[in-house]
Amino acid sequence: MSYSIDFRRKVIFTMEEEGLSIRETAKQFRIGSASVSR
């Protein structure tokens, strides 16, 4: 699935600001871990 640029930026921003791991970020946004790391 392809996500919008805005959504991807929000995911990365949240991950960095909250110091979350890829798995934690994926769980918070209810997306797959691979979607976070791409």
Q: What are the tens digits of pLDDT across the range 1-38?
A: 689 999 999 999 999 999 999 999 999 999 999 988 87
Structure tokens that stand for 22 in this block: 């890829």
Per-residue model confidence (pLDDT) at position 1:
64
* Full-model pTM: 0.83
Give Cβ neighbours of residue 20 (< 8 Å, ≥ 6 apart): 14, 28
Question: Residue 15 is part of which domain span?
Answer: 5-37
The number of domains in the chain is 1
Query: Given the structure tokens 């392809």, which residue do they identify?
Result: 2
